[in-house]
Structure 1
Amino acid sequence: MALFALAVSAAPASAPDDALIARGAYLAKAGDCIACHTAPRGIPFAGGLKMDTPMGAIYTTNITPDPDTGIGRYTEVDFARALREGIAKDGHNLYPAMPYPSYAKVKDDDAKALYAYFMHGVDPVKQPNRASEIPWPLNMRWPLKLWNAVFLDTKVYADKPGKDATWNRGAYLVQGLGHCGSCHTPRGVGFQEQALDESGPAYLSGAPIDNWFASNLTSEPNAGLGRWSTADIALFVKTGANQHASAFGSMTDVINHSTQWLETDDANAIAHYLKSLPAAGGSGMPPYHDDPHGVPTSLAIPANDSGAKVYATYCMHCHGSNGRAFAPLLAPLVGNPAVLEPNPTSMINVTLNGTQALVINGLPDAYPMPKFSSVLTDQEVADVLTFVRSHWNNASTAVSASEVVKLREATAHAPK
């Protein structure tokens, strides 16, 4: 950090040029800063979003340039230290819900552009920060210094030798500003990401988070991206849907506020990097085999199977009798990685609570998944998901009613 401090000024001598602010605005979208630092129906970047942690709820902070309640008094050095080391201007440690272990990789020029944007491209908002709901003594911050000493790698991203420029650009975006590992990498006993880049076998292999399961982004052939082409991945990054799947849960926010705005070259770079990751996670089952000429499951007549009955009544009209739907307009269930994922959390959650619409270039998705929490019983949800996960060569695990009960209770009071 001392070396970085020599590379930036202690305070801006004058307003930066428009190009630097515009670059910072682009990078803020790449980092999806608005998603965490904006409360539901709140003012952008003014903070107040509630985030549940194992120790209690915390609230995101105001990062507008208001001098009293925001970051208006931060110097460029202060800003970079908070961004990359998780240390606020007054010296207190930020909780690693702020993905500074990923942002530590952000290069100097990009940190400078981000600072220019937040100081000169964002309107100041006077909104005091909310105290956390973590009880004493768990709310003491000094243990975070020990956490950082053990788990924080402060090295800025450096291009990997032997890799082309596109791969390195994709790796930088995924590992750094995109902070994909914050959701998609399993956590260890200290709530740390088990790996921060492809050198760790758990990196981006999927993880439970906020009553969802963040998908496997490795080349695992069933629950991961092994059957996706580079073009498939790039299309998903830009639109949230492709021939294999559609975004759901918090990934919808990522698409709506962040990745759809990436330059095409950056979206392609991310796809190129993700496609290079070796397979990890998943079920260990043989690779999914799609058989478009196989005998489709018959739903034309009433079935004895409860799951088939529920599917025929509530699901078939959108997803089709053969589970193929009309991708990318409507998500297919045949070979869908979320269907093949051993952990059924996302399938249960999206069935109970639906998902918000993807909004691409200002146009909302015409057919977002509706919620069925008030329509289907716990057993019916379990039955229909078991049906989906066991038909059309999906060969995934069954879902129990007790798993549905747990998710229903956990999401009953979630903010809408």
Structure 2
Amino acid sequence: MRNAFKPLVAALCASGALGMMSSARAADDALVARGAYLAKAGDCIACHSAPRGKPLAGGLPMMTPVGAIYTTNITPDPETGIGRYTEEEFARALREGVAKDGHNLYPAMPYPSYAKINDEDMHALYAYFMQGVTPVKQANREPDMKWPLNMRWPLKIWNAVFLDKGIYQNKTGKDVAWNRGAYLIQGLGHCGSCHTPRGIAFQEKGLDESSGAYLTGGLLDNWFASNLTGEHNTGLGRWSEQDIATFLKTGANAHASAFGSMTSVINNSTQELSDADIAAMARYLKSLPASGGDSRAPYSYDAKASKVSLTRPAATDSGARLYTVYCMHCHGADGRGFAPMLAPLAGNPNVLEKDASSLINVTLNGTGDLVLHGVPAPYPMPRYAPVLNDRQIADVLTFVRGAWNNNTPAVQAEDVAKLRKATQAAR
């Protein structure tokens, strides 16, 4: 009789083992999925994927003040990627900028921001990169830097001076949403790596809201990344939390549209984040006091003061005449555009910014396609580099920066020529 129960016991044991294995697989799958979400929050694919290259296999050129560097292969290929990294080595690379073999990474890799990633999220990221990413065998490319600028040992000194190794700690007196937004903006989102000005050693001048320089805008790779503080003219002072959330989800709102590297951020990162995380990021950004700017009076669209006659622009007003031919059909005679499809120019923070690099760059080279849930957004900004010369672009931008109560300094033809040369070299 006792032997009759043996098949039943064996069956129950097998069923239990299978159940445990199934639960373990489900837990692993959930961890990898969590890591995939966090990798999107970190926008890893944008920097570590070259145009027409394989995802996360590296090779994207990035310009620095001392030459071009190329992003590395972060797929789990054991020979050319990170397949042999332990979790400890993986975390060290992200938080301290030190590779498996001990060489220092250049701070174009935003490890000063990733240093804030907590242990739980680091574990999920490691699971994703090791189990959820397809290995790609592709050798890394050496930087285009001449000796002695290509030496890496000075980066040890750089880290000692500028790297804060502490993970993010919730701020007392702030609610859950604010702290979540701060963690994403300062850490995985690494917003400061573009939107904070850098010092002579290429260090970010601030890593959180305790610094008055944090997120006040910065010139990087021939673009000026916008001021994200509460500054009224060039920052987010006139934006609501919903305006910020809409921009992060869609790349456009009533105030501005994405261009440059921000297009890639929208395409690969923020549109995929949960509504709760986007709202938290908006909450944190909207809490930042005004900083930066140039002390001008707050912008307001006054219909009378902003009225510009474009029906018969004077023959001597080259900028106005060019605007009527190339710009008015999209941005309107009143400069208000047709948001969110077509960006306004009246009061646009990027137009009011003292540094005109982004305006020049986007006029020369246009914008990449915003792709929302697989569908390209209509009406991208076209390239005018083949159509307009340096003087013409300077004239039309000078008109835009002076019209509709914008009252921003003129653009010089030599600045256009300089940026044209720099961006053509990078194409």
Q: TM-score, normalised by structure 2?
A: 0.92
- Structure 1 residue aligned with 2:217: 206
Contiguous gaps of at least 5 residues in structure 1: 1-12
Q: How far apart are residue 138 of structure 1 and its match? A: 2.0
Letter in 2 for 1:353: N
Aligned to 1:397: 409
* 1:319 maps to 2:341: no
Distance in 1 separating the partners of 2:65 and 2:218: 15
Residue identity matched to 2:143: S
Q: What does residue 168 of structure 2 align with? A: 157
Task: Report matched runs for 1:253-272 at 5 Å.
Answer: 253-272=264-283
Q: 2:126 aligns with which of 115, 119, 130?
A: 115
How far off is 1:395 after superposition? Answer: 1.0
Per-residue CA deviations over 1:245-271 (Å, capped at 9, x if unaligned) read: 000111101111111111001111111
What's the counterpart of residue 394 of structure 2?
Answer: 382
Letter paired with 2:241: T
Aligned length: 403
Instruction: For residue 57 of structure 1, give the secondary structure of its aligned residue in structure 2.
Output: strand
Secondary structure class of the residue paired with 1:412? helix
Shift in CA distance, 183/98, structure 1 to aligned 2, threshold 3 Å: same
Q: What CA deviation, in whole Å up to 9, does each residue of 1:38-81 have, x standing for no partner?
A: 11110000011111222222111110001111100111111101
Would you say 1:344 and 2:356 are equivalent positions?
yes
Write the deviation string for residues 108-164 of structure 1: whole angstroms up to 9, x where unpaired: 000000000000000001111111222222222111111100000000000000111
SS, match of residue 290 in structure 1: coil
Which of 192, 196, 206 aligns to 1:185? It is 196
- The one-letter code matched in structure 2 to 1:92 is H
Give me the whole-angstrom Cα distance separating, in 2, the residues matched to 1:272 and 1:292: 32
SS of equivalent to 2:327: helix
Q: Which of 350, 353, 356 pairs up with 2:368?
A: 356
Larger relative helix fraction:
2
Query: Which residue does 1:309 correspond to in 2?
Result: 321
Give the secondary structure class of the aligned counterpart of 2:267: helix
Instruction: Give the C-alpha shift of residue 287 in structure 1.
Output: 0.5
| Separation in structure 2 between the aligned mates of residue 290 and residue 199 of structure 1, nearest angstrom | 33
Please show how residues 217-228 of structure 1 align to structure 2 within 5 Å.
Answer: 217-228=228-239
Amino acid at match of 2:53: G
- Long gaps (5+) in structure 2: 1-23
CA contact (8 A) 2:359 2:397 kept: yes
8 Å CA contact 1:15–1:120 kept in 2: the answer is: no
8 Å CA contact 1:169–1:269 kept in 2: the answer is: yes
**Matching of residue 247 in structure 1 with residue 258 in structure 2:** yes
The answer on whether the counterparts of 1:16 and 1:116 sit within 8 Å (CA) in structure 2 is no
Give 3-state SS (helix, strand or coil) of 2:299's partner. Answer: coil
Is contact 2:360–2:416 with CA below 8 Å preserved after alignment?
yes
SS at match of 1:29: helix
Q: CA deviation at 1:15?
A: 10
Q: Which amino acid aligns with 2:41?
A: A
**Distance in 1 between residues matched to 2:129 and 2:373, nearest whole Å:** 24
| Residue 229 in structure 1 maps to residue 240 in structure 2 | yes
Q: Distance in 2 between matches of 1:16 and 1:115?
A: 15
Q: Is the 8 A contact 2:62 2:221 kept in 1?
A: no
- CA displacement, residues 288-309 of structure 1 (integer Å, 9 cap, x when unaligned): 0122465621111243311100
CA distance in 1, matches of 2:340, 2:313: 29
Query: Given the alignment, which residue of 177, 182, 191 partners 1:166?
Result: 177
- Alpha-carbon separation, structure 2, partners of 1:256 and 1:375: 28
Q: How far, CA to CA, are the matches of 1:280 and 1:185 in structure 2?
A: 11
SS of equivalent residue, structure 2 residue 362: helix
How many percent identity over aligned positions? 69
Q: Which amino acid aligns with 1:275?
A: K
Aligned equivalents of 1:163 and 1:228: distance in 2?
21
Provide Cα deviations, 1:290-339, integer angstroms capped at 9, x if missing partner: 22465621111243311100000100000011111100010000110000
In 2, the alpha carbon distance for the partners of 1:412 and 1:312 equals 27
The letter of the residue matching 1:388 is V
In 1, Cα distance between equivalents of 2:279 and 2:210: 22
Alpha-carbon distance in structure 1 between the residues aligned to 2:103 and 2:126: 20
Distance 1:212 1:58 in 2: 18
Give, as a single letter, the amino acid of the residue that structure 1 aligns with 2:217. G
Shift in CA distance, 295/395, structure 1 to aligned 2, threshold 3 Å: closer
Larger radius of gyration: 2
| AA in 2 matched with 1:42 | G
1: distance between equivalents of 2:329 and 2:83? 53
Separation (CA, whole Å) in 2 of partners of 1:209 and 1:297: 33
Structure 2 CA distance, aligned partners of 1:340 and 1:109?
Answer: 42
- SS of 2:425's equivalent in the other structure is coil
